[in-house]
Every structure is written in structure tokens, then in C-alpha cells.
Amino acid sequence: MDKFDEICEKIKTLKIQGAHNVAIAGVRALKYRRDKRSVRKLLNLRPTEPCLRNSVKFVLKDFEKNYKIAIKHLKTVRRKIAEIGSRLIRDGIVVFTHCHSSTVIEILKMAFKQGKKFEVYNTETRPLYQGRKTARELAKIGIPVKHFVDSAGRIAIKKSDLVLFGADSITSVGKIINKIGTEMFAEIANKYDKPVYFCTDSWKFNPKTIIGFEEKIEERSPKEVWKNPPKGVEILNYAFESVKPELATGIISELGIFKPAVFVGEVKKNYPWIFE
Ligand code: RUB
């Protein structure tokens, strides 16, 4: 297995996961191979990942020049988002999060470094338990974490003050695609008047949605849910779901905090190449 295939394998099996880390790894993979077939393989590993697609498109325009620009953007953008997002975290609050978003983690870490005292409630995120990764990373630096099974999400949200999710994709009408369960949790948070923010690099905007394409929702192997189900039981293992823009209090990106519709305009102003 060469270096390119090694990276692909890690993305496919979620050893490398989260839209942002997938995009960084994908751009790095282009150093080893960038023929048409390999690029197609790379882009099909996780179909719901426009950050990967946008980054690859940008780098392939002019590899020598844009590779460095893309890596620099991807490596520094989370810090910028954290500077903006950490302002929402106050002493004594409880922050609810779902799955594992490196962007959300960066915000929480920065708030903690600023000396803020808060707690995080998070979900397991079945079937692959990315929530454990979140809990482990936060606990390691000293942020107190209470960990819940996914179906306890309502109870956890009711006791929280702020909800932070990551994002995999944002569409032209401001829908946000994130880990399965996110819309259900956003609806619950709205019911209890808890602010809901999506924390994201603006390169996750999906330009294809302007011309009518819906973001593709990745379906993963049923074996991840139940290895040997009885005959007659069909398992649908959707990795992501789409969240209605009206459920979002705001989108936190390196461009600032905006309502979804305004966010789309800001992306266009700052990164016109995404729309080309
Ligand atoms: C991860 C997930 C994350 C987003 C954002 O899903 O839904 O919330 O990808 O992550 P999976 P980041 O584990 O299936 O990749 O902020 O790191 O880009």
C-alpha cells in the first residue's frame, strides 16, 4: 500500500474523521498522486464532504502555488474560528455537543485556556462512538465532561446553556449538514430556547447546491450498526443529516458569526473561486 492508499484507507475507516481533518489529509494525499482516477477515488471516500472537494479543486488549479495556500488556510482557520466562538462561552455554563468536531473542540480549548470555567455534556454518537473521542480530548486538558447515550440527548440539552455543533456542508439556502442526530438535537434545543451554533470553516460551503443539487448524505455499512441482524431486518446507517436553517442561531466561521443566509453571501464575497 503506498502513501496515497494509506491516507484513503484511514479516511474510509474514520481513523481520520471530521470534515476538516478529512480535507487536510485529502490535500496531503495529492502530494503522492493526482491523476484523474486517484482524485475520483479520494473524493468518493466520504461523499458528504465539500471542504475536501473545494480544497482539492483549489489545489489542482495550480498545485505548486495553491497546495501551500490550502494547507495554511486549513491549519490556521480553526484558531480564527476559536477566537470568535470562544466569546460565547461564559463562566459557569454547560455546553452541549454531539459527535466529534475538531472545530468545536478548538473553541472549547481556547475558552478553557482563557480561564473560563464551564462544563461539557456530550453524546456517545453511535454507531462509531466519535463522542468518546470528544470526551477523551476535553477531559485530557481538564475540561469537565458528562457523557450521555444518544437517546439521553433531550435531558442533556435541557440542562445545557449553549449548543455547539460542527458542520460537514452548508448549502446555498443555508441548510447545514452534520452528523446524524444533529437536526433532532437542534429541534430539542429550539424547544427549550437554547442557542444553537454551527462551527465551521467556510470552505465547507457546497457550490453545487446553487444549481439545484442536494448535498449527498453518506450511507455507511449496516455492519457498523449490527453485525449479524436477523433475516428480515434492514438497517439504514445514514452518517449525516440536513438541518433546517431556521434552527440555527448562527454559523460561527472565520468570517464571523452570521445567520445561515448571510453566511452564504459572506462566503461568496471572500472566496469567489468556490462559486466558479
Ligand atoms: C463528524 C462530524 C463533525 C463534522 C465537523 O462526522 O459530523 O461534526 O465533520 O468536524 P464523521 P470538523 O465522524 O462521520 O466524520 O469540525 O472537525 O470539521
- Reported as type and span, the H/E element at residue 121 is strand 119-123
Give the number of other Cβ atoms within 10 Å of residue 109's Cβ: 17
The catalytic residue among 8, 51, 150, 168 is 168
**C-beta of residue 145 within 8 angstroms of C-beta of residue 139:** yes
- Whether residue 102 has its Cβ less than 6 Å from ligand 1: yes
Which CATH number do you get for residue 226?
A: 3.40.50.10470
Task: Identify the pLDDT of residue 150.
Answer: 98
Query: How many domains does the chain contain in total?
Result: 2
Contacts of 68 (CB under 8 A, 6+ apart): none
Q: pLDDT tens-digit profile of 216-237?
A: 999 999 999 999 999 999 999 9
**C-beta of residue 4 within 8 angstroms of C-beta of residue 32:** yes
- Reported as type and span, the H/E element at residue 240 is strand 240-243
- Reported as type and span, the H/E element at residue 50 is helix 50-61
Q: pLDDT tens-digit profile of 202-218?
A: 999 999 999 999 999 99
Q: pLDDT tens-digit profile of 145-192?
A: 999 999 999 999 999 999 999 999 999 999 999 999 999 999 999 999
Are residues 16 and 85 part of one domain?
A: no
Q: Which of residues 60, 77, 94 is at a domain's end?
A: 77
Q: Which three three-digit cell numbers place residue 143?
A: 475540561
Q: Which domain holds residue 132?
A: 81-275
Q: Which three three-digit cell numbers place residue 165?
A: 455543533
- Whether residue 134 has its Cβ less than 6 Å from ligand 1: no
Are residues 219 and 93 part of one domain?
A: yes
Q: Which of residues 23, 53, 77 is at a domain's end?
A: 77
> For residue 114, how far is its CA from the centre of ligand 1 (angstroms)?
25
Site to substitute for ligand 1 among 16, 52, 99, most atoms within 8 A of C-beta = 99
Of the candidates 148, 142, 47, the one whose C-alpha atom is nearest the C-alpha of residue 99 is 148
- Whether residue 52 has its Cβ less than 6 Å from ligand 1: no
Are residues 152 and 129 part of one domain?
A: yes
Which CATH number do you get for residue 53?
A: 1.20.120.420
Are residues 252 and 129 part of one domain?
A: yes
Are residues 103 and 29 part of one domain?
A: no
**C-beta of residue 43 within 8 angstroms of C-beta of residue 70:** no
* Angle of helix 19-29 versus helix 102-113 axis, rounded to 10: 110
Are residues 245 and 190 part of one domain?
A: yes
The catalytic residue among 8, 99, 150, 199 is 99
Of the candidates 99, 126, 98, the one whose C-alpha atom is nearest the C-alpha of residue 225 is 126
Are residues 141 and 113 part of one domain?
A: yes
CA-CA distance, 248 to 195, in Å (whole number)?
A: 8
Are residues 150 and 31 part of one domain?
A: no
Peptide bond into 127 cis (omega under 30): yes
Q: Is 168 a catalytic residue?
A: yes
Alpha helices, H only, 62-205? 63-85, 102-113, 130-141, 153-158, 182-191
- Ligand 1 atom at shortest distance from the alpha carbon of 23: 18
DSSP state of 209: G
Are residues 99 and 36 part of one domain?
A: no
Are residues 115 and 94 part of one domain?
A: yes
* pLDDT of 121 strictly over 90: yes
Q: Are strands 256-258 and 250-253 parallel, antiparallel or unpaired?
A: antiparallel
What is the average pLDDT score of the chain? 97
Task: Identify the pLDDT of residue 231.
Answer: 97
Site to substitute for ligand 1 among 49, 101, 150, 205, most atoms within 8 A of C-beta = 101
Are residues 155 and 37 part of one domain?
A: no
- Whether residue 26 has its Cβ less than 6 Å from ligand 1: no
* Angle of helix 36-44 versus helix 3-12 axis, rounded to 10: 20
Q: Which three three-digit cell numbers place residue 48?
A: 458528504
Percent of the chain residues topping a pLDDT of 70:
100
Q: Is 201 a catalytic residue?
A: no
Task: Identify the pLDDT of residue 1.
Answer: 82
Are residues 105 and 144 part of one domain?
A: yes
Q: Which of residues 57, 77, 97 is at a domain's end?
A: 77
Q: Which three three-digit cell numbers place residue 18?
A: 471530521
